[in-house]
Structure 1
Amino acid sequence: MAVVRPFKAIRPAADKVSYVTSRSYEAYSKEELKAILKFNPFSFLHIINPGFKFDKKVSGVERFKLVHNRYMEFLEEKVFIKDREPSFYLYQTRRNDFSCCGIFCATSVADYRNNVIKKHENTIESRERLFASYLDTVKFNAEPVLMTYPDHPTIAGIIKSTRKEDPVYHFTTPDRTTHYLWKISDTDTMQSIEKAFSQIDSLYIADGHHRSASSDLLAQWCEAKNPKHTGREPYNYFMSYLIPESEIRIFEFNRLVKDLNGHTKESFLVHLDEFYRIKKTDMELYKPSKKHHFSMYLDGDFYSLYLRKHILPLDNPLNKLDTHILYKTILEPILGIKDLRNDKRIQYGYGKHNVLRMKTEIDKGNFKVGFNLVPITMEEIKAVADAQLVMPPKSTYIEPKLKSGLTIYEL
């Protein structure tokens, strides 16, 4: 059963919250990053880019120590405040036609180890160790793990009643997303939340597999160094944002490949014919309509690819997954791409207009062929995780994408 705990969040002062919170560091161009660091002294980016203050590039342990120093300065200058009592934090975002609402809380590394918190991606050991070392030095966690849970009437009722109250934060960011945060510190309500989650068998990681694995590794290190370990220390938990399954949004990644692995267009299509019924379409932009159906853009034309029946054994959740089918029928055997994570011949695109972008990149000559899929469903993610299998890289692009620096969990 899932264990969740309230925690004493470090969070921005209310009058500065819109200036403090940031997107993921990788989401900024170099120009954007430089402008924010230059003109916004309150941005959380100053903490994770501590060398800017000295006009110096820093890395490794030196950077980790400076991150800790910048964090302490934000506390000393009251850019950040620390809540006096443990709380849950209800967080809602709204943008255009998409809205979601979930709970910031502390989740258990024991649940992660025992597969109560379920994963569907592999992690890289070197990245786990690097981030665990980072956490061990900076002593805080500012990027929550995104997890889903089955819709639950008690939790839904608490969320509904809490949203009737005035939020502690209400602000809009330049991407036109409106953010709301409510603090839940009433003892009875917090106990109800804990009890409701204790009735839920599993939580599913949607985004943050490396953060979860690193938090587990850090807990192992800390336990080994602590002769008075009780299991209640902060390092036994990590910050997560839990949303109901009905409120997550999943997009597909397309695949763009730089060459045909020595094939001519004609020989490539002949090889495809073994696995697919192929039809050239007359549409300017063509997207697939159902599972095991792909669109392909090649040499100025879109094609529909329908997987031939009984060509592959669809005998487990991974084998039924379109990203895995594409890999097993085209990317590996025909195009010679074995390492989906590191092969430089393949790139991935996502977003509302990703088919148009795919066509544009191929028309420019930057890539030779592209494939588009229908989005993977939450049910498929759960089935893969329940079977303790692993999806191919870039199988899902999931929203919401969470802000850094909105709530911070001290270790």
Structure 2
Amino acid sequence: MPLIKPFAGLRPAPGRAADVAAPPYDVMSAEEARAMVTGRPWSFLHISRPEVDLPADTDPYAPPVYAKARENLDRMLSEGVLARDPEPHYYVYRLTMDTHVQTGLVAAASVDAYDADRIKKHEFTRPVKEDDRVRQIEALNAQTGPVFLAYRSQAGIDTLLARLSADTAEVDVTLDGVRHELWAVTDASVIADLTAGFDALDALYVADGHHRSAAASRVAATRRAGNPAHTGDESYNYFLAVIFPHDQLRIMDYNRVVRDLNGLAPERFMERVAERFQVERSEQPVRPARHAEFGMYLGGTWYRLTLDPRHVPEHDPVRRLDVSLLQENLIEPILGIADPRRDERIGFVGGIRGLEGLVRHVDAGDMQVAFSLFPTGMEDLMAVADAGEVMPPKSTWFEPKLADGLVSHVLD
């Protein structure tokens, strides 16, 4: 089976993309989603967050939610807002946010490759989130949230994608300041070149969408078991993905805030920090400029923390990550937070919210100390995945985000 294949995408009808396009389902609260659909009857959030059309106290994982998603999908199909392409295509997808541009390929990616770790993961999944995506896929008989994949930049593929996106896009919409452009690839020879080019790659990497890819694998396993005529060519053997070259991706910092100082007075806390870090007071907010450097906001003051190099492992791809260095040298031994996945004393603030997001938490009194981090690099992410390891929670914050609703993958 090829690593990727073209598919007949379910897309907004011509001229309807701006009505349909929506932010990813998992970047907003239910209240925010309800506000976003006001005056937008064709927003894809009616499918990806169907609880917006049910009473406010509805359990988002209750069966009526998935039934409403199916009802809303059927309505958008019957009204001609969504339509399926008659033939399998690839789709070139470009994201532009300020001066940042990344161009990738929308494709159906192989579940077999995912199961065999040729499509590599770097995160654990949570059962409740994975179960939710399984129910959503089964209710819709479609994958509507793309998995965000990366490949090690390859000149032949990169050049071909650039050429295919040189003309005016079929879809060109701006959502929350991000421009989304889409081109359908219909030429059979070009489709064959793309399939062969990707198949020659050693691996793909899950950048974001671990729950979606894991759910697709589970659905495929169930359907294979229930299909005595299974051949491997069925659409359930593939999942919806958008694949970008690694050197075009932007990972922002994913910062930390902590509710208290673990019973320490501020002066004693600072003494403990100085045992492993060089501590410098800063008149300006600290955005770390290099690996093993951190910003800390405490008591209305910013500090620059530089970890003693003796505490930086050279060859361990997980322990040398900045999120690991902060956890192992400060958050756990000094603040007493051993499990950041479950400890409610720690919170996480995506870099898109800026350093002012950290200051706001501390100045408001709901958190006592905040830390800014140097962003994880794509090479770091791929090194962890290649080693078969798992990254600490909240290690990466990708921007810009993909839109939901521009292309979906129907399971025939």
Pair 1:338 & 2:325 matched: no
Which residue is equivalent to 1:218?
A: 219
Which runs of structure 2 are paired with 1:48-127 in the superposition (5 Å)?
48-50=48-50, 52-53=52-53, 55=55, 57=58, 59-127=61-129
- Report Cα offsets for 1:258-312 as digits up to 9, x if no partner: 100111112212222222222223x231222211111111112222222123235
8 Å Cα contact 1:384/1:391 also seen in 2: yes
- Report Cα offsets for 1:50-90 as digits up to 9, x if no partner: 45556573642222122112111111111001100000001
Which residue is equivalent to 1:146?
A: 148
Q: Distance in 2 between matches of 1:48 and 1:284?
A: 41
Q: Distance in 2 between matches of 1:100 and 1:380?
A: 19
8 Å Cα contact 1:100/1:400 also seen in 2: no
8 Å Cα contact 2:173/2:179 also seen in 1: yes
Pair 1:318 & 2:333 matched: no
> SS state of the match for residue 349, structure 1?
strand
Structure 1 residue 191: deviation in Å? 0.3
- Distance verdict in 2 for CA 1:2–1:253, change over 3 Å: farther
| Percentage of matched positions with identical amino acids | 34
Which amino acid in the other structure matches residue 80 of structure 2?
K
Bigger mean CA deviation after superposition, 232-241 or 164-173: 164-173
- Report Cα offsets for 1:12-52 as digits up to 9, x if no partner: 01211101010123444666533443411111122234455
Which residue is equivalent to 1:5?
A: 5
Give the TM-score normalised by the residue count of structure 2.
0.94
Q: Distance in 1 between matches of 2:231 and 2:220?
A: 12
Which runs of structure 2 are paired with 1:132-171 in the superposition (5 Å)?
132-171=134-173
8 Å Cα contact 1:90/1:183 also seen in 2: yes
Which amino acid in the other structure matches residue 387 of structure 1?
A
- Report Cα offsets for 1:210-235 as digits up to 9, x if no partner: 11111111111111111111111111
Structure 1 residue 127: deviation in Å? 2.6
Which amino acid in the other structure matches residue 165 of structure 1?
D
Structure 1 residue 397: deviation in Å? 0.6
Which residue is equivalent to 1:274?
A: 275
Which residue is equivalent to 2:372?
A: 372
Which amino acid in the other structure matches residue 257 of structure 1?
V
> SS state of the match for residue 310, structure 1?
helix
Which residue is equivalent to 2:358?
A: 358
Which amino acid in the other structure matches residue 240 of structure 2?
M
> SS state of the match for residue 348, structure 2?
strand
8 Å Cα contact 2:259/2:369 also seen in 1: yes
Q: Distance in 1 between matches of 2:273 and 2:31?
A: 43
User: Size of the alignment, in residue pairs?
Assistant: 409
Pair 1:19 & 2:39 matched: no
Which residue is equivalent to 2:256?
A: 255
Bigger mean CA deviation after superposition, 97-106 or 162-171: 162-171
Structure 1 residue 185: deviation in Å? 1.3
Q: Distance in 2 between matches of 1:50 and 1:121?
A: 27
Which residue is equivalent to 1:305?
A: 305
Which amino acid in the other structure matches residue 127 of structure 1?
K
Q: Distance in 1 between matches of 2:52 and 2:372?
A: 40
Please identify runs of 4+ aligned residues in structure 1 that moved more than 6 A: none
Q: Distance in 1 between matches of 2:327 and 2:306?
A: 15
Which amino acid in the other structure matches residue 66 of structure 2?
F
Which amino acid in the other structure matches residue 292 of structure 1?
A
- Report Cα offsets for 1:142-175 as digits up to 9, x if no partner: 11011111222222232222223342212333x2
- Distance verdict in 2 for CA 1:279–1:107, change over 3 Å: same
8 Å Cα contact 1:251/1:398 also seen in 2: yes
- Distance verdict in 2 for CA 1:309–1:41, change over 3 Å: closer
8 Å Cα contact 1:257/1:368 also seen in 2: yes
- Report Cα offsets for 1:90-125 as digits up to 9, x if no partner: 111223211111110000111111111111111123
Which residue is equivalent to 2:183?
A: 182
8 Å Cα contact 2:33/2:52 also seen in 1: no
Q: Distance in 1 between matches of 2:352 and 2:235?
A: 40
Which residue is equivalent to 1:264?
A: 265
Structure 1 residue 326: deviation in Å? 0.7
> SS state of the match for residue 310, structure 2?
coil
8 Å Cα contact 2:97/2:400 also seen in 1: no
Q: Distance in 2 between matches of 1:75 and 1:238?
A: 21
What residue ranges of structure 1 are gaps of 5+ in the alignment? Answer: none
- Report Cα offsets for 1:332-382 as digits up to 9, x if no partner: 121111221222111111235522221232122221111111111111111
What residue ranges of structure 2 are gaps of 5+ in the alignment? Answer: none
Structure 1 residue 317: deviation in Å? 0.6
Q: Distance in 1 between matches of 2:165 and 2:399?
A: 21
8 Å Cα contact 2:255/2:351 also seen in 1: no
